[in-house]
Amino acid sequence: MHVPTMAELTAANKAPDVLFWVGCAGSFDQRAQRITKAFSTILDKVGVNYAILGKEEMCTGDPARRAGNEFMFQMMAYQNIQLLNTYNIRNIVTACPHCFNILKNEYPVLGGNYEVVHHSTFLQKLIDDGKIKLKEGGDFKGKKITYHDSCYLGRANNIYEAPRKVLEALDADLTEMKRCKSNGLCCGAGGAQMWKEEEKGNLRINNERTKEALGTGANVIAAACPFCNTMLTDGVKLNEKEETVKVMDIAEIVAASMADS
């Protein structure tokens, strides 16, 4: 895939309508790279004029701040803000709720003011505007899907409907877990827990959450966060259900359901 970078576009005296902020997981984690590819494929197919920062993109500093290293966070944030402002970026879309939350809510205090959209909202708008055409009787028609609310998308930013509307557009059978929306259970990766061993306890949060998802009888567990995806995938493996249950990002589901035209 050739994804345009800001450096390339600037050299050609062009500017994108939107910057796709890829994030650490989407750049380096093999599983999350498939989410990045799926979302880029959708943007290419519908003709969105976008670019990425590529090697110029640094971590937003979210894990550093959540783990308590404020100095490291501010260093990273200032560097990113300087770069974004140099490129005169106004609109950002990202597939990571952690990046979304920090860019939208915590960068403005440091001088980084941008219109930041999560990819679930972006995909919903593309579907509503008729830009994404879905296959008749696609791969997910009638399939039981349960959606897991990411903490930073749901409780932190009150985005519950967009990802569900995207899934409903597929004619899938959307089945809710008992704990969902504002009462959803964390996957266990938030607050920088992704980067450390868990404290001693009698169960792992990701296994508790995966059991709830499996309890719905769903064939697909849909997520909208690369961290949640990792935790739920681990949970599915632990329960030895990887043959029958898939964990997928909503961008992957949409990319697999798009009509060819």
Q: How far apart are CA 226 and CA 248, in angstroms?
A: 10
- What percentage of the chain has pLDDT greater than the value 70? 96
What is the reported pLDDT for 96? 96
Stretch 41-69: mean pLDDT, rounded? 95
Q: What is the pLDDT of residues 175-198, one digit of tens each?
A: 889 998 888 878 877 666 666 677
Average pLDDT, rounded, for the chain: 91
Q: What is the pTM of this model?
A: 0.92
Tokens of 126: 């593309």
Contact of 186 with 212, CB cutoff 8 Å: no
What is the reported pLDDT for 192? 65
Nearest to 94 by CA among 224, 182, 254, 236: 224
What is the reported pLDDT for 222? 95
Distances 185 to 64, 81, 152, 180, 182 between C-alpha atoms, Å:
23, 32, 12, 7, 9
Residue 134 has pLDDT above 90, yes or no: no
Domains and CATH numbers, the chain: 6-123 (3.40.50), 134-257 (3.40.50)
What is the reported pLDDT for 260? 75
Contact of 164 with 136, CB cutoff 8 Å: no
